[in-house]
Copies of this chain bind each other. A is one copy, B any other.
Amino acid sequence: MTVVRAIQEADGLHVTFGPDGHEAVFAQTWLANYATAEVDRRSEDAKRLWSARDFPAGPPVTHWSVFASSDGVRLRCLRELLSTGFMLLRGVPAVPGAVADVIASFGYIRETNYGRLFDVQVETAPTNLAYTSLPIGPHTDNPYRDPVPTLQALHCLVSSAEGGESGLLDGFRAAAQLRAEDPPAFDRLCQTPVVFSYADTAAQLRATRPMIGLNLAGMIREIRYNSRSMEPMRPRSGALPAEAANEMHDFYVAYRAFAAILLRPSGTLRFTLAPGDCIVFDNTRILHSRTGFSAAGRRHLQGCYADIDGVESTVAVLARSCGRKAG
């Protein structure tokens, strides 16, 4: 097939194709729509990177009843969720299962071996650090799963224990800082496959992915960071022993440099979840953490995984009816 003729007319570009003489008209608006480069909306290019000081009054809060009833408010909040990577809803009924209603307002639950919903509270025989009262450093969930759940919700049902403060941290910003401060370390974490794994009696999961994932344009696109499920490094296939030793050394130096950035107090937005609070965040970007809490009292969160493409879809559909002004 060839282009025989192309003529610009009032209603668009008239193109005649050979050999059969088929003519097609491409409208100017259609052509203009594809004349500019696409932004990868999942990458740092489309996000507002932040540190704790960008939220001096703590995380912005939206009341669930308003979120659920107002398309305009839901649109604004979900856009913030896409842009900053998190949103905090207040007043979600502190009853088991309510977190499923939150997810249903913009997407679909991703069921896993942990169930449709999972309970984060102290267990007598915990299979996971989450089910103790111990502190947990900043991490993303389930890096051993592929595809990783791209969204997580944690809904507070009971909070009478001392401590257990929550923290959120922008992993894209931390990775961008590593790139600025130590480019070779950044490159090493982007280029080294890491094995993440998890096993209990009913499941055994394993994924091989870098800690910092880039898109084809080299922009930061996803963070996997979890010291508990990361396996010791292995030699690269085909590497000579001395090469492998050097590469592993360089990897661990880079990992420590990234860890040091993640542990800077300025990065983490800290707040305490009260019953009825529900935090929703991008699990490919935001690292979450908690401080330890006392044995006296109880702390019970109900959690749920979901996917962020549902949020993007809901935003796009709401924007049709709310118009651009609502954003």
Contact = CB atoms under 8 A, between A and B. Distances in A.
Nearest to A319: B204
Contact of A313 (B205, B208, B316): B205
Contact of A203 (B34, B204, B217, B313): B313
Interface string A56-85: 000000000000000000000000000000
Contacts of A5: none
Interface string A219-261: 0000000000001111111110000000000000000000000
B34 A316 contact: no
B235 A36 contact: yes
Interface residues of A, number: 53
A308 to B, nearest CB: 8
B317 A234 contact: no
A206 interface: yes
A151 B238 CA distance: 32
Given A208-B40, A208-B41, A216 B191 contact: yes
B38 A312 contact: no
A103 to B, nearest CB: 10
A216 B111 CA distance: 28
Interface centre among A150, A239, A317, by most chain B C-beta atoms within 10 angstroms, is A317
A316 to B, nearest CB: 4
Contact of A234 (B36, B233, B307, B312): B36
A235 B309 contact: no
A192 to B, nearest CB: 7
**9 nearest A-B residue pairs (beta carbon):** A147-B147, A204-B316, A37-B237, A108-B111, A40-B208, A34-B232, A203-B313, A193-B216, A38-B234
